[in-house]
């Protein structure tokens, strides 16, 4: 009898997505529903020798298309084309959606985020004419401006994911604007980029509470847990709508047996508080901003600011690569 692995067990309870643009991961550890990416993941993939052709074609396309998209630099356009080319390549090796992230420099501009997202959708059609728009979701930072951009995009038929999400107030607003997905960061971003840093305030209970709240309000938004650092964290979220998991953790899950004792937060009642019935932020930016900024005495706001700054740094490196 075949051994049931940790990955098999997880898939029996949760939709598993891959947090990578590497098609070899999809081939060897799939099948996966969705694939997620961000500027850090894209940079790592484009720096591989195997991606040299994608970088070269992105640069060439950007020079040709720049007159149509002259509001950004040729290099920024080349970055976006590179992101889309990697997503299109990955789409052949997954069953569902490719999720790509907007330029983090637009995190506090609704207008620029909307323009950026629509440009990405158009670039999919350039790279692969007829690409199914329902297989695209745009990841947007969960600032007030980002959430308002999600509202506009969802009304226009573009699926969105509210990323860099650390609080219940962000989750409430994301559902109100109609985000298709949200990604609560279990660990703040520093856990992945600062050697030796450990997040001692992991947001595992928040993931559980958000999903319970969404069920209670019949929200269409799905919870896609992200920023995981161990299989223990993953097993504690078995039962969540979706998880996006990095290649190293996927490898661990695929080689270790099903855990004999893997308690999940989704087997018990939520411990984090749920919002009061009727809680709304959609028409009150001030209420949202003060509630969000006061969460954990400002620590959640700091996490968001640091994540945006970090992704801006990766964006800078991508632009340099395309120079």
- The first and second tokens of residue 40, run together, are 């850090």
**Active-site annotation holds for 68:** no
User: Per the residue annotation, which of 59, 112, 139, 202 is the catalytic one?
Assistant: 139
Q: Which helix (H) or strand (E) holds 318?
A: helix 299-321
Binning the chain into helix, strand and coil, the percentages to the nearest 5 are 55, 10, 35
Query: In sequence order, what are the residues at sequence separation of 6 or more whose Cβ sits closer than 8 angstroms to the Cβ of residue 312?
Result: 104, 105
Q: What is the pLDDT of residues 275-294, one digit of tens each?
A: 998 999 999 999 999 999 99
Question: Please, are residues 245 and 17 in contact by the beta-carbon 8 Å criterion?
Answer: yes
Report how far residue 141's alpha carbon sits from residue 106's, in angstroms, rounded to the nearest whole number. 9
Tens digit of pLDDT per residue, the chain (323 long)? 356 899 999 999 999 999 999 999 999 999 999 999 999 999 999 999 999 999 999 999 999 999 999 999 999 999 999 999 999 999 999 999 999 999 999 999 999 999 999 999 999 999 999 999 999 999 999 999 999 999 999 999 999 999 999 999 999 999 999 999 999 999 999 999 999 999 999 999 999 999 999 999 999 999 999 999 999 999 999 999 999 999 999 999 999 888 888 889 999 999 988 999 899 999 999 999 999 999 999 999 999 999 999 999 999 999 999 99
- Residue 3 has a pLDDT of 61
- Residue 1 has a pLDDT of 38
- Residue 258 has a pLDDT of 81
**What is the CB neighbour count within 10 angstroms for residue 56?**
12
Q: Which string of DSSP letters, residue by residue, matches 126-168?
A: HHSTT--GGGEEEEEE-SHHHHHHHHHHHHTT-EEEEEEE-SH
Query: Which residue segments constitute the domains of the chain, with CATH numbers given?
Result: 6-258+285-321 (3.20.20.70)
Question: Please, are residues 295 and 301 in contact by the beta-carbon 8 Å criterion?
Answer: yes
Report how far residue 224's alpha carbon sits from residue 181's, in angstroms, rounded to the nearest whole number. 6
Report how far residue 185's alpha carbon sits from residue 244's, in angstroms, rounded to the nearest whole number. 11
* 70 DSSP 8-state letter: T
Q: What is the pLDDT of residues 115-152, one digit of tens each?
A: 999 999 999 999 999 999 999 999 999 999 999 999 99
């Amino acid at each position: 009898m075949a051994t049931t692995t940790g990955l098999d067990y997880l898939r029996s309870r949760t939709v598993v997505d891959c947090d990578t643009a590497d098609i070899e991961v999809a081939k060897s550890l799939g099948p996966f529903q969705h694939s997620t990416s961000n500027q850090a993941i894209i940079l790592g993939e484009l720096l591989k020798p195997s991606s040299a052709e994608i970088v070269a074609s992105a640069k060439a396309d950007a020079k040709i298309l720049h007159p149509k998209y002259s509001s950004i630099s040729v290099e920024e356009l080349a970055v976006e084309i590179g992101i889309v080319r990697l997503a299109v390549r990955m789409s052949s090796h997954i069953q569902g959606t490719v999720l790509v992230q907007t330029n983090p420099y637009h995190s506090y501009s609704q207008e620029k985020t909307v323009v950026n997202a629509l440009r990405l959708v158009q670039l999919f059609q350039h790279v692969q004419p007829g690409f199914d728009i329902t297989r695209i979701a745009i990841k947007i930072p969960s600032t007030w401006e980002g959430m308002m951009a999600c509202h506009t995009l969802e009304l226009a038929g573009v699926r969105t994911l509210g990323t860099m999400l650390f609080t219940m107030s962000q989750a409430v607003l994301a559902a109100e604007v109609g985000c298709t997905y949200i990604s609560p960061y279990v660990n703040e971003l520093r856990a992945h980029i600062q050697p030796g840093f450990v997040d001692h305030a992991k947001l595992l209970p928040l993931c559980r509470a958000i999903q319970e709240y969404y069920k209670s309000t019949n929200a269409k938004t799905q919870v896609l847990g992200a920023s995981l650092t161990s299989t223990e964290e993953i097993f504690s979220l078995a039962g969540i709508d979706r998880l996006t998991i990095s290649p190293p953790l996927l490898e661990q899950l695929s080689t270790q047996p099903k855990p004999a004792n893997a308690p999940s937060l989704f087997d018990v009642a939520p411990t984090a508080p749920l919002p009061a019935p009727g809680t709304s932020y959609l028409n009150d930016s001030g209420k949202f901003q003060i509630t969000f900024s006061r969460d954990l005495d400002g620590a959640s706001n700091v996490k968001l600011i640091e994540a945006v700054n970090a992704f801006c740094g990766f964006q800078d490196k991508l632009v340099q690569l395309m120079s």
